[in-house]
Chain A
Amino acid sequence: MAGPLTDQITPPAGPLRTLAGDRPVVRVLIRAGLVLVKRTVLLAVLLALVFTGVELLPGDAAHATSERGETAVDLAQRRHTLGLDRPVLERFWDWMSGLPTGDLGTSAHGESVTDLVSTAFPNTLVLGATALLLTAVLSIALGCWAALRPGGRLDQAVTGTSTAVFAIPEFVVAVGLVLVFSLWTGWLPAVTLADADGTPSSWTMLVLPTLALTVPQAGWNTRIVRAALDDEARAPHVETAVLDGVPPLRVLTHHVLPGALPTIATGLATSSGILLGGAVVVETIFNYPGIGAVLSSAVADRDTPVIAGVTALAGAVISCVLLLADLVRDVVTGGRR
């Protein structure tokens, strides 16, 4: 994953090299900085695509937010108010130049985009992070458990179930959960209601949406964990450990798992993107006050500033998670080199 950029900048030789080589923190920081620059450029390109993409969709924000019966003159006025009569490049530049100050522009309905996303986005992050954490714990635990007796009945059961579970879309899981845990048993709230601070009014409201997101992703990641452990188990140092008579559990935790970590981290990082995507669906079903609802309505309204704002935030978060995964890999492999 280390791109050509990193290779070029790596100092060739001399005291600097020893400095970087001796102090992994510095090396990691330099690497993080470079990746950050690369990702920022990527994000800018992505945002440009969002602007042009919305432009290409039929209809525009002025039309989408108009009331029936507005004449062509009214529409032109609305277009002007929203700045839609200016070239897309100009609007893109305007919007981008507000970014450093945290200004995400104004929605087609006249609300500040920063306000619109400021409660919704953290809510989605909480949901996504909880689901990611739960996914990580579940998949690593299940993967390890299955790996202790490769090919055994338990291994087969875990592998089979995880495949089956991954194949179920989030919305099916979500509808099933509501039916069973809320409408039939009444154990948990069916939907999420927000309080004055914009967050769910009770933690119990987080349970079902989190589960709906976790179940498919845990299935997927268990498979990755299981495969990564399998690969690592064939490594020479593991075989040496086994031959030395190290107990299986210790082999797993001290010899197999560390080597498999980079793959597992990458798998989980990829899941974070899918989790954010799945959140859109799950949030609708559970009425979760997250970014999904904001995004879907913004697309319907061709509301470019809102769509771009959400894209920027989601892009930033996913970049950070990927960066973290890269760092995990760096630390693990760097330590061994």
Chain B
Amino acid sequence: MDLTRRQLLWAGGAIGATALLAACGNGDDEPAASATGGSAKPRKGGTLRVGALGRTGAVTRDPHGTQANESDYLILSLVYDTLTVPGAKPNTEPRLAASWTPSVDLKTWKFKLAEGAKFHDGKPVTAQDVVFSLKRLRATPSGASRLPGIQAKNITAEGTDTVVLVSDYANAELPLLTRLTTFVVPDGTTDKDIANAPGTGPFKLDWFRSGNARLVRNDAWYAGDVYLDAIEVKIFESPQAMTNALLAGQIDLASNAGAVAARTAASRKDIQTVRRPNDMAMPIVMRTADGPFADPKVREALRLAVDRKAMVEQVLSGYGSVANDILGTGDPAYDKSIPQRTRDLVKAKALLKDAGFDTSKTYELLTTEDISGLAESATLFATQVREAGVKVKVVKQDSAVFWDKTWLKGDLYTTYWGTNDSVVFFASKTMVSDSGQNEAGWEDTAFDAAYQKATGTADDARRTQLLKQLQQIEYDSSGYLLWGMADGIDLAGATVRGLPTLPGYGRVQLQTAWLAR
């Protein structure tokens, strides 16, 4: 694209005029525009260069494949649309599905597709495309966990614009499940063509090579304005290299860079730190079914022995918040009225004595270095509980070994989770007696009953009430010690605006971003 001198002059004049206007405006009370919002009006144009973590050997182009790479997931999320997307309040917002209505028993859900939604090749999206995509998703090895309770035969089309999902059980939060990987491709796309299947998303794929990609704006997007001309996604194997690239001005945004990178960049005034609260839970799991932590008093003692503030300060470099042993901290229905547990060594010791806990033994706390801070949290925890008389030795395992041998089985281990905006999500995945990932082997009939009632209740107020019950039981006796929540941290150059602040999958909603220059 060649610019003539006239165009340059014109552009220069326009920028000058904008600056002048801005200067004339309410200059004093206007805060310095920030990456996440700022008061300025979004401006069209520019290319955002985004760094995202990923491993070249694990690259996947299949929107329904296993997305181990942040970079792949980012690219797919910008090219393809899911039925719903994460929101702040409520936590599920419409995307390709404009609206949804449940049956009275909360088993049958009808999703009405957004009007004017088109694939990048111009073809309108039909319910049949969605049915095809969901069935394809369901048929992957991870299908059962991605669309829990929904069998392939229960995914059908009603007319051209309505998709009907029938769940095996009442599920008030079914639309939440359709936020994650329900990427829609055209009906009949073969595995061979999947990498180049047109999407419906805010950006079109220009090129893809070895995990790097260039995406250009889809001007015909149905779901709102897109400001950037293009997004270039660059794959990075290490957060350190990604931070260096940002510091050297080679990229504009380091996505999900982490606390260490934020600390590195803290001294640079031209680097903006975007904190997305409630992004990652790193609880310690205590096995409840059997073993040394089966007694609820022992678990309570450990929860009282941990110094949560110190954990957040040291493990997360302060980029996080103290938590209260209830998972799903970002849920609008999260119960803030339950008193915050704080450190109480006296009570912890008393409880241990009461329970007849063997303090002469050393207990192993198993962990991995899968994500930064995880192993560190284990080490600090071990130091802290020693003051309550519990001897803990940290054992680091290779990731493959950890997930194979320790996860779901160990007596005491660390875990981590990303979707923190739903109490029910965690209950259904990890705490209900028959859940597939019952990390602590927890079985509690009262909890199960509360869960059944809550997910089967359509009325919001009543449901929130039931969810409170559920959270109280979880707080009292579950196998989780959730000491804190890590912020998601993105680092951005000075000109980046409009970045998403939602936790978890919210980070990929880059269509709102724009460049001020």
Residue positions of A touching B, CB distance < 8 A: 57-60, 63-71, 74-75, 77-78, 81, 107, 109-111, 116, 119-120, 178, 182-183, 186, 189-191, 193-198, 283-287, 289, 293-298, 300-303, 306
Closest to A292 in B: B237
Say yes or no: is B399 at the interface (Cβ < 8 Å to chain A).
yes
Stretch at the interface among B239-247, B326-334, B378-386, B492-500: B239-247
* CB < 8 Å neighbour of A194 from B58, B60, B210, B237: B210
Inter-chain contact B142/A191, CB cutoff 8 Å:
no
* CB < 8 Å neighbour of A110 from B65, B207, B251: B65
Number of residue pairs A-B, CB distance < 8 angstroms: 159
Closest to B234 in A: A193
Inter-chain contact B57/A69, CB cutoff 8 Å:
no
13 pairs of residues in contact across A and B, judged by CB atoms under 8 Å: A63-B400, A74-B141, A74-B142, A191-B244, A193-B234, A194-B210, A196-B206, A197-B209, A285-B241, A287-B241, A287-B245, A295-B57, A297-B58
Given A191-B244, A287-B245, CB of A64 within 8 Å of CB of B400? yes
Inter-chain contact B245/A193, CB cutoff 8 Å:
yes
Say yes or no: is B266 at the interface (Cβ < 8 Å to chain A).
no
| Interchain CA distance A120-B247 in the complex, whole Å | 25
Inter-chain contact A306/B57, CB cutoff 8 Å:
yes
Inter-chain contact A58/B207, CB cutoff 8 Å:
no
Residue positions of B touching A, CB distance < 8 A: 55-62, 65-66, 68, 141-146, 206-207, 209-210, 212, 214, 234, 236-238, 240-242, 244-245, 247-248, 250-251, 398-401, 403-405, 429, 436-437
Which of A109, A182, A283, A284 has the most C-beta atoms of chain B within 10 angstroms of its own C-beta?
A109
Determine the chain A residues whose CB is within 8 A of the CB of B146 once the complex forms. 67
Tell me, rounded to whole Å, the shortest Cβ–Cβ distance linking A24 to chain B: 43
Closest to B418 in A: A68
Known: A116-B210, A196-B214, A301-B58. 11 other contacts (CB 8 A): A58-B400, A59-B398, A59-B399, A66-B66, A71-B145, A74-B143, A110-B62, A193-B250, A194-B210, A294-B56, A300-B399
Given A190-B248, A287-B237, CB of A69 within 8 Å of CB of B429? yes
Tell me, rounded to whole Å, the shortest Cβ–Cβ distance linking B422 to chain A: 15
| Interchain CA distance A225-B63 in the complex, whole Å | 54
Inter-chain contact B244/A293, CB cutoff 8 Å:
no
| Interchain CA distance A198-B437 in the complex, whole Å | 40
Tell me, rounded to whole Å, the shortest Cβ–Cβ distance linking B512 to chain A: 24
* CB < 8 Å neighbour of B68 from A65, A183, A191, A284: A65
Tell me, rounded to whole Å, the shortest Cβ–Cβ distance linking B253 to chain A: 14
Inter-chain contact B66/A109, CB cutoff 8 Å:
yes
Inter-chain contact A190/B244, CB cutoff 8 Å:
yes
Inter-chain contact A293/B207, CB cutoff 8 Å:
no
Inter-chain contact A58/B237, CB cutoff 8 Å:
no
Inter-chain contact A66/B142, CB cutoff 8 Å:
yes
Which of A67, A78, A285 has the most C-beta atoms of chain B within 10 angstroms of its own C-beta?
A67
Determine the chain B residues whose CB is within 8 A of the CB of A195 once the complex forms. 209, 212
Inter-chain contact A303/B141, CB cutoff 8 Å:
no
Given A111-B59, A116-B57, CB of A293 within 8 Å of CB of B237? yes
Determine the chain B residues whose CB is within 8 A of the CB of A120 once the complex forms. 56, 210
Given A59-B401, A65-B68, A183-B248, CB of A289 within 8 Å of CB of B145? no
Inter-chain contact A58/B401, CB cutoff 8 Å:
yes
Inter-chain contact B403/A109, CB cutoff 8 Å:
no
The 10 A-B residue pairs whose C-beta atoms are closest, nearest first, are A59-B400, A297-B55, A297-B57, A190-B248, A69-B145, A287-B241, A190-B244, A78-B141, A298-B57, A67-B142
Inter-chain contact A77/B245, CB cutoff 8 Å:
no
Inter-chain contact A58/B404, CB cutoff 8 Å:
yes
Closest to B430 in A: A69
| Interchain CA distance A74-B139 in the complex, whole Å | 10
* CB < 8 Å neighbour of A189 from B66, B142, B240, B248: B248
Tell me, rounded to whole Å, the shortest Cβ–Cβ distance linking B449 to chain A: 23
Determine the chain B residues whose CB is within 8 A of the CB of A285 once the complex forms. 238, 240-241
| Interchain CA distance A280-B445 in the complex, whole Å | 53
Closest to A198 in B: B209
Determine the chain B residues whose CB is within 8 A of the CB of A64 once the complex forms. 399-400
Tell me, rounded to whole Å, the shortest Cβ–Cβ distance linking A304 to chain B: 12
Given A63-B404, A111-B59, CB of A191 within 8 Å of CB of B248? yes
Tell me, rounded to whole Å, the shortest Cβ–Cβ distance linking B134 to chain A: 17
Closest to B143 in A: A74
Determine the chain A residues whose CB is within 8 A of the CB of B210 once the complex forms. 116, 119-120, 194, 198, 289
Determine the chain B residues whose CB is within 8 A of the CB of A111 once the complex forms. 59-61
Given A294-B57, A297-B58, CB of A196 within 8 Å of CB of B237? no
Inter-chain contact B57/A194, CB cutoff 8 Å:
no
| Interchain CA distance A250-B248 in the complex, whole Å | 48
Closest to B194 in A: A110
Tell me, rounded to whole Å, the shortest Cβ–Cβ distance linking B390 to chain A: 28
| Interchain CA distance A116-B210 in the complex, whole Å | 7
Tell me, rounded to whole Å, the shortest Cβ–Cβ distance linking A79 to chain B: 9
* CB < 8 Å neighbour of A302 from B59, B145, B400: B400
| Interchain CA distance A60-B404 in the complex, whole Å | 9
Inter-chain contact B141/A66, CB cutoff 8 Å:
yes
Inter-chain contact A196/B429, CB cutoff 8 Å:
no
Closest to A179 in B: B244
| Interchain CA distance A69-B55 in the complex, whole Å | 22
* CB < 8 Å neighbour of B58 from A74, A109, A182, A198: A109
Inter-chain contact A81/B247, CB cutoff 8 Å:
no
Tell me, rounded to whole Å, the shortest Cβ–Cβ distance linking A191 to chain B: 4
Determine the chain A residues whose CB is within 8 A of the CB of B144 once the complex forms. 70-71, 74
Inter-chain contact B248/A186, CB cutoff 8 Å:
yes
| Interchain CA distance A120-B144 in the complex, whole Å | 35
Inter-chain contact B56/A57, CB cutoff 8 Å:
no
| Interchain CA distance A286-B245 in the complex, whole Å | 9
Inter-chain contact B141/A59, CB cutoff 8 Å:
no
| Interchain CA distance A58-B401 in the complex, whole Å | 6
Tell me, rounded to whole Å, the shortest Cβ–Cβ distance linking B286 to chain A: 19
Inter-chain contact B209/A119, CB cutoff 8 Å:
yes
Closest to B59 in A: A111
Given A109-B65, A183-B247, CB of A194 within 8 Å of CB of B212? yes
Closest to A77 in B: B141
